[in-house]
Amino acid sequence: MKRQPKVSVERIGLDELGRDLKDIVFVDARSATALARNPAEVPGAIHVPIKALDAAVKKLPHRRPLVTYCT
């Protein structure tokens, strides 16, 4: 049986990460509409709309911490 990854969810600000940001995979979970309204993003972030996140989670990197963000 395949082991499920350890998942921890908490809401934090970017200044609270307290780690080297290049070690983190950022996932922009905004909808296409929200992204069009405010196209600013974290450099290198992967865009996966929140509605598609469940289907995409298996394809995201699992060896580095994942941080999702939206508006």
Q: What is the pLDDT of residue 6?
A: 67
**How far apart are the C-alpha atoms of 57 and 62, rounded to whole Å?**
9
Dump pLDDT digits (tens) for 9-62.
677 776 777 667 778 889 999 999 999 999 888 888 999 998 998 899 889 988
Domain ranges of the chain: 21-69
pLDDT of residue 3 exceeding 70, the answer is: no
Q: What is the pLDDT of residue 49?
A: 92
Name residue 17's amino acid. Answer: L
Name residue 9's amino acid. Answer: V
Q: What is the pLDDT of residue 30?
A: 93
Q: What predicted TM-score, i.e. pTM, was given to this entire model?
A: 0.72
Q: Which of 22, 30, 35 is nearest to 65 (CA)?
A: 22
Superfamily of domain 21-69: Rhodanese-like domain (3.40.250.10)
